[in-house]
A and B are shown apart, each in its own frame.
Chain A
Amino acid sequence: MRFLRVDMTHQQIAVEPVPKRYQGLGGRGLISTLINDEVPPLCDPMGPENKLIFAPGLLGGTKLVNTSRIAVGAKSPLTGTIKESNAGGTFGDAAGRLGITAIIVEGQSRNNGLSTLKIDVDGIAQLIDSEDLKGMRTYALVEHLFSRYGTQNAVMCIGPAGEQKLRAASIQSTDTKGRPCRAAGRGGLGAVMGSKGLKAIVLDLRGDEADAIVDPEGFAAAAKAFAQSVRSHPFSRDVMPKLGTAGLVAPVNSMGGFPSYNATRGVFDGWEKISGEYMSDLLAKRGGKTGHKGCATCIIQCSNEFVDAGGKYVTSSLEYETIWSMGGMTGIDDLDIIARLDFLCDDLGVDTMSTGVGVSVAMDAGYKPFGDGQAAIEMVEEIAKGTSFGKMLGNGPEEVGRFFNHHRVPVVKGQSISGYDPRAMQGNAVTYATSPMGADHTAGNLVSEYVTGKLDPLKTEGQVDASRKSQIAMAVVDSIGLCVLASTVLSTEQGSKAFIAAINAKLGLELKPEAITEMGIKVIKAELDFNRRAGFTNKDDRLPRFFYEEPLPPHNVVVQISDEEMDKTFKF
């Protein structure tokens, strides 16, 4: 249980025991508390005062399934708010098994120097000069790092976009096959890593110094019950292994909530050609794979390996949000083009969602026609070339909209929405507007409430309460390190009980469900406090005007949640 403080200015590393204030915290909860305590809210996100923090979840490195997420956070250069973004792969589990509670990257390298942080099997960390890695794309970079340090490592790294400090830059994370195809994509955290002068973190996968569990027997029983819940839920049992998150394309289009052609329509003409079902059939014919295990400790196996017509690897994993942003939003109904765009974004180290939405804003403004896949590829390649257009696109959709003087830019606090239109899903409008981190589905997505008929997506009643509840729950999930796709079982009695029992066994506590809710509220309060001191007010918790003024077909509705209702979301 320790912090690694990495001082990039003086190229020094300090190891310290976790102060009492932060014990019992992990992932997003730890990051948000630390940032609120230590980062000046008005600082330049890409200056030396900002801190970039990597933290496994509270149960990262344990035997609880699907808890290998690695949370990354800082003051975001994209939103200006506090930001946590988490990634799958193997890094979070390995960090937990090394007993690392957080890696806190501080200061800024001098003279634009570039380093790699190497952490060995004993947890000994060192900074290594990496000038020779400048400009490398992530796939080549990881291959290089593995040849130098061995394949028994997990890597988190940036590509050219992060080095250029572009505000939609991601931090890429290696999967179980050592490919940098998992991403902490949101909030431009790759730009913060680039501004620190940190190209990569290489972490040994073989660590065996995980923090003690207070009640190991109780934990084992809870972990077993939780795994049973995951295995028996129709979403994680049937849909995810077969289709992955792409399985959402059919339901969301069927509900008229799939933002298409830059959020001017709620059903995409060619959605069946980019659906999870279509992709699953295509990959079966080509020798690709669905049901792939991308992350350590995962029993859902929602990942896929997309291959071309010749059976050659293109990308992994082609996910719903990328299919939406690079497909529905741009009008491209060709999975091969979308997969190529996904690979490019991973390789350059840029968020697929912000980038796809940026491309769609440019198309909507008349720069290129919707559906022009080749044009989309050329636009994204501009990011690697470092051209003016590439920098503009890599800085996110708001920058693209400003350049083209285009009004229809689907962002909140500078960050693009996700693949659920806030007009067809009014509760997601609340989440996009009020999340302390800008628009994002992972903050509190209500699609499952709508699909199961618990809530009418087109009515205003109940949306604020549902969003609040979901946002609080997600703050807990992201603090524990649990995958959002496994968190669906928290809606079941067995899953919820087992989850709480696991937390209690780990910490030696007897927390009731209300205390778990309180844990989530505390995290959000820290985030809101930081944002308030950074200058944000409730006036920033609004969607762009077009969502209130331009009806979305086929339901022909606008966002109807009033400002007063929005402001009730976090009146704790």
Chain B
Amino acid sequence: MIIKVKLFSILRNHVSGYDPEKGIDIELASHARVSDVIHHLKIPAVQFPVVSCDGRILQKSDPLSDGNVLHIFQPVAGG
């Protein structure tokens, strides 16, 4: 399946030549989960990636569906 990913903050550095307007498309095996995307992009745990889809924060074990648009950012607090 194909997943569209949009990256934010310094996580954009994990994709060479990242285009913030387009994001990137990732092809994953069926039954892939959120953790597979993190693994695919080689985002280290120390950067604490947070993944959202359709306005909801996802857990690493949540399943994905073809055509999902994911936003991946880092933890934030009020400012």
Q: Are A278 and B57 in touch, CB under 8 angstroms?
A: no
- Cα of A250 to Cα of B50 in the assembled complex, Å: 12
User: Please, what's the 1-or-0 string for B17-36, where 1 marks a CB less than 8 Å from any CB in chain A?
Assistant: 00011000000000000000
Q: Please, how many angstroms separate the alpha-carbon atoms of A279 and B79 in the complex?
A: 16
B68 to chain A, nearest CB (A): 13
Residues B50 and A452 in contact, CB atoms below 8 Å apart = yes
B53-74 contact mask (Cβ, 8 Å, vs A): 1 or 0: 0111101000000000001011
Cβ contact within 8 Å between A445 and B78: yes
Per-residue interface assignment for chain A, residues 400 to 421, with 1 indicating a CB less than 8 Å from any chain B CB and 0 otherwise:
0000000000000000000010
Residues on the A chain within 8 Å of B79, using CB: 244-245, 248, 302, 319-321, 484-485
**A546: interface (CB < 8 Å):** no
Question: Which residues of B1-28 are within 8 A (CB) of A?
Answer: 8-10, 12, 20-21
Question: What per-residue 1/0 map shows which CB atoms of A233-259 lie under 8 Å from chain B?
Answer: 011001100111101101100111000
Q: Inside 8 A of A140's CB, which chain B residues have their CB?
A: none
Q: Is A389 an interface residue (CB 8 A)?
A: no
- The residue in B9, B46, B54 that gathers the most chain A C-beta atoms within 10 A of its C-beta is B9
A234 and B77 in contact, given A242-B10, A256-B55 (Cβ under 8 angstroms): no
A272 interfacial by beta-carbon distance below 8 Å: yes
Please measure, in the bound complex, the distance between the C-alpha atom of A450 and the C-alpha atom of B21, giving whole angstroms.
26
Instruction: Determine the interface band of chain A, counting residues with CB < 8 A from chain B.
Output: 35 or more
Given contacts A238-B9, A238-B47, contact A555 B55 (CB under 8 A): yes
Q: What residues of chain A have their CB less than 8 Å away from a CB belonging to chain B?
A: 234-235, 238-239, 242-245, 247-248, 250-251, 254-256, 266-267, 272, 275-278, 281, 302, 319-321, 420, 424, 441-442, 445, 447-448, 450-453, 484-485, 487-488, 554-555
| Docked complex Cα distance between A278 and B21 (Å) | 10
Q: Which residues of B does A touch, CB under 8 Å?
A: 8-10, 12, 20-21, 46-48, 50, 52, 54-57, 59, 71, 73-79
Q: Which residue of A lies closest to B56 (CB)?
A: A255
CB-nearest residue of chain A relative to B20?
A277
- How far, in angstroms, from A150 to B78 measured CA to CA in the complex? 36
Question: Per a CB cutoff under 8 Å, which of B74, B77, B78 touches A238?
Answer: B74
The verdict on A485 contacting B8 (CB below 8 Å), with A255-B55, A256-B55 known, is no
A255 in contact with B52 (CB, 8 Å): yes
**Which A residues are in CB contact (< 8 Å) with B46?**
234
Residues of chain A with a CB closer than 8 A to B21's CB: 272
What separation, in Å, do the CA atoms of A410 and B60 have in the docked complex?
Answer: 35
CB-defined contacts of A320 to chain B, threshold 8 Å:
79
Beta-carbon nearest neighbor of A453 in chain B: B57
Q: Beyond A234-B46, A255-B57, A277-B8: 5 further Cβ-contacts under 8 Å?
A: A238-B9, A243-B9, A251-B73, A321-B79, A451-B76
- CB atoms of B71 and A234 under 8 A apart: no
User: Judging by beta carbons under 8 Å apart, are B75 and A235 in contact?
Assistant: yes
A-B contact list, 10 entries, CB within 8 Å: A235-B76, A239-B76, A247-B8, A247-B76, A248-B76, A250-B73, A254-B71, A267-B55, A424-B55, A452-B75
Q: Return A43 CB to nearest CB of chain B, in Å.
A: 32
A453 to B62, CA, bound (A): 13
**Residue in A244, A251, A321, A441 whose beta carbon sits within 8 Å of that of B50 in the complex:** A251
